[in-house]
């Protein structure tokens, strides 16, 4: 199980929680993580990356990105 870097909830991440001795490669036929089905919203592994977020936190963050600003 992984721990959400935002709220601390436990959740399953297919990328981080791969079976022992097996790293996900992105090869055809591998099960992708649930997050790959959502719009890209935060940096992933790299210098500005954030840790994994649970489904609720990632969906809430995406909702704030998709909300148009108020027009005065």
- Contacts of residue 24, defined as CB under 8 A and 6 or more positions apart, other chains included, come to 14, 15, 18, 30, 33
| Count of CA atoms in the C-beta half-sphere (13 A) of 61 | 18
pLDDT band at 9 (very low <50, low <70, confident <90, very high): very high
pLDDT digits (tens, 9 = 90+) for 55-71: 999 899 888 886 666 65
pLDDT digits (tens, 9 = 90+) for 24-35: 655 555 667 888
2 has which bridge partners? 11
In the chain, the percentage of residues whose pLDDT exceeds 90 is 11
Total tally of structural domains belonging to the chain: 1
The range of the structural domain enclosing residue 70 comes to: 1-72
Mean pLDDT for all residues in the chain: 75
């Amino acid at each position: 199980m992984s721990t959400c870097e935002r709220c601390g909830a436990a959740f399953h991440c297919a990328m981080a929680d791969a079976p022992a001795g097996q790293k996900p490669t992105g090869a055809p036929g591998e099960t992708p993580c649930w997050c790959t089905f959502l719009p890209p919203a935060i940096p992933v592994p790299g210098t500005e990356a954030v840790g994994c977020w649970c489904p609720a936190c990632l969906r809430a963050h995406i909702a704030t990105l998709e909300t148009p600003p108020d027009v005065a």
